[in-house]
Amino acid sequence: MDIKHLRYFISIVNNDFNLSRTAQNLYISQPTLSIMINDFESREGTNLFKRTNGKIIGLTYVGEKYYYDAQEVIKKYNEMQVNLHEATETMAGSITIGIPPLILSVIFSTIMPKLILDNPTINFTLKEQGAHRLKSELLLENIDIAVLLSPEGISKNIIDSFEIQCSELAVFLSPNHHLATKETIDWKDLHNEKIAIFDESFMIHHLFKDACERNNVYANIILKSSSWDFMLNSTKINEELLTILPLPMAEQYASADFVARRMNEPIIWKVMICRLKKNNYTNTEKYIYDTLLELFHTN
């Protein structure tokens, strides 16, 4: 039996084995109650109830023991539920989370407001910085949780790190850009092209520069910024300019003013939730970290 069925069983006994009254109190049909009893006894190969002419009149010896055990289980279950909600309701403290602005917009726009609204007794501080800078902030213990890109550049002996999204970087450009006619873009196509890119505090900047070097491409970077929307708007206005952003943005911010083109041998955009390994975490740190992982797992 599950918890619901245990409650039904206890209710039958507490209603003096009157199935009609029990069913009425439980807001279920009497046949449903009878089927539940018969199915359980048949499956377990035992009788919980004494019967006369097919009518339940009491408990067997096994049924009496089962009734006692069922009461203990329900009592413990109720205590567990109270403890669960009390722990959530009384959770208080402060937490500092570092999230790159683009990732905050693309991935956390639904989850972060929910997390904050569901936990009014916790003081949240969000640091919006590039992943490259947030790595240093995490190592200096200026933030409790950091959202970084893989490879994080930190030893796994030092941090816990869990993937929450994986995609790739793509080329975003005006529909009138000469590369917009291509279905996919090769690295050699980017040679000498005018590029807007995140500044050095962002991991995307370093991933892109490293990829250009590996592919012998000269990156003609004419604009650096910490604002993804500024770079995207710049490509809409300037038909000679392109930028490098995560592919999911093409769907989330769809517009006729720009197109997104996937790359051959793209840079993988793998988003990670990270924290320093510690012997002891505060209750708030443990709760928020576990909740974030659960929310992303659910979504």
Nearest to 192 by CA among 225, 247, 240: 240
Residues in the chain: 299
Low-confidence ranges of the chain (pLDDT < 70): 1, 85-91, 298-299
The DSSP H or E segment spanning 128 is: none
Q: Give pLDDT, residue 244.
A: 95
Residues 39, 41, 42, 43, CA torsion sign? positive
Single pTM value for the model: 0.64
Q: Give pLDDT, residue 282.
A: 87
In angstroms, the CA 28 to CA 25 distance is: 8
In angstroms, the CA 65 to CA 9 distance is: 13
DSSP string, 121-150: TEEEEEE---HHHHHHHHHTTS-SEEEEES
Structural domains of the chain in order of their starting residue, each with its CATH number: 3-89 (1.10.10.10), 93-164+271-298 (3.40.190.10), 167-268 (3.40.190.290)
State the maximum Cα–Cα separation within the chain, in Å, rounded to a whole number: 93
DSSP string, 2-66: -HHHHHHHHHHHHTTT-HHHHHHHHTS-HHHHHHHHHHHHHHHT---EEEETTEEEEE-HHHHHH
Q: Give pLDDT, residue 112.
A: 92
In angstroms, the CA 203 to CA 198 distance is: 8
Q: Give pLDDT, residue 85.
A: 66
Residues with Cβ within 8 Å of residue 118, at least 6 apart in sequence: none
Cis peptide bond N-terminal to 248, omega within 30: no
Burial class (CB in 10 A: 0-12, 13-18, 19+), 129: buried
Q: Give pLDDT, residue 219.
A: 87
Note whether 12 and 56 are within 8 A (CB): yes
Q: Give pLDDT, residue 214.
A: 94
Chain segment 55-107, per-residue pLDDT in tens: 899 999 999 999 999 999 999 988 887 777 666 555 678 999 999 999 998 88
Indicate the DSSP class of residue 201: T
Residues with Cβ within 8 Å of residue 53, at least 6 apart in sequence: none
Pair of tokens at residue 199: 């500044």
